[in-house]
A = this chain, B = another copy of it.
Amino acid sequence: MSGKRSLIRSGTTVDQMVRAIGDRIVTGVLRPGEKLDEASLAARFEVSRTPVREALGQLSVMGLVERRPNRGAIVAVVTQEHLASMFESMAELEGICARFCAERMTGGERRALEIEHQSSARLVRLGAEEDYEYFNTEFHSRLYRGAHSTHIQELTATTRSRLAPFRRAQFRLAGRLAKSWQEHDAIVTAILRGDGTAAGTAAKNHVSIVSEASAVFAVGDQPKAASTTQVTAD
């Protein structure tokens, strides 16, 4: 092996492969149903098959790839039903996070949440979808962290990444940006006044709407991975 780990620095080769392949699935470079050939991947990343195999095994546990014994691995393909179930779970999980946030966020966290949220209003006016997406991701991460529950955070983050391949689709839906911001606003307001129930409900509805917007693009009709930049605007 020559100068291997140049751009992806950390950990063992296996970790790098998990991230590399996982990213390509989550960002849609590798599309659901696509075959994952061990030898090709090994050649592609200039490593041996061993770390690739281990990575595929781990990704399979994460639910991002599907492994058929002796028959290779493919990017996980989810049924319409399971996709709906994942969005539903996501809504519940985000609801819980928001409720916890309302009850547990520190003063600093509340302030930071509001400041970032308010500053993102500018992006909506400008229609800066890509930048808004960055803030959106950060906003949701804040909610997960603010729940002060490491395990909920874990479940939520995992589910979110499994859903990622199916959310990309709903970008640039008419008026979605402004609506997204308003929904965020409802969540923030409820959290700031410490109303856990309202915050939970608002967050749940927020995700449910995203779910509906994405449902169209389920199995069979794959989004065509327009570019490497993912724009979701949820």
Q: Which residues of A contact B (CB under 8 A)?
A: 11-12, 14-15, 50, 53-54, 57-58, 60-63, 69-70, 81-82, 85-86, 88-89, 92, 96, 149-152, 154-155, 159
Contacts and interface: CB of A to CB of B under 8 A. Distances in A.
Contact of A89 (B57, B70, B149): B149
Contacts of A154: 63
Identical copies in the complex: 2
Contact of A92 (B15, B82, B150, B152): B152
B82 A151 contact: yes
Contact of A54 (B12, B57, B152): B57
Given A61-B61, A62-B61, A92-B96, A81 B152 contact: no
Contacts of A86: 151
Contacts of A82: 150-151
Contact of A151 (B11, B85, B96): B85
Contacts of A57: 14, 54, 57-58
A69 B51 CA distance: 14
Given A53-B54, A58-B57, A69 B151 contact: no
B11 A149 contact: no
21 contacts: A11-B69, A12-B69, A14-B57, A53-B54, A54-B54, A54-B57, A57-B57, A58-B60, A58-B61, A61-B62, A81-B150, A82-B150, A85-B151, A86-B151, A88-B149, A88-B152, A89-B149, A89-B152, A92-B96, A92-B152, A155-B159
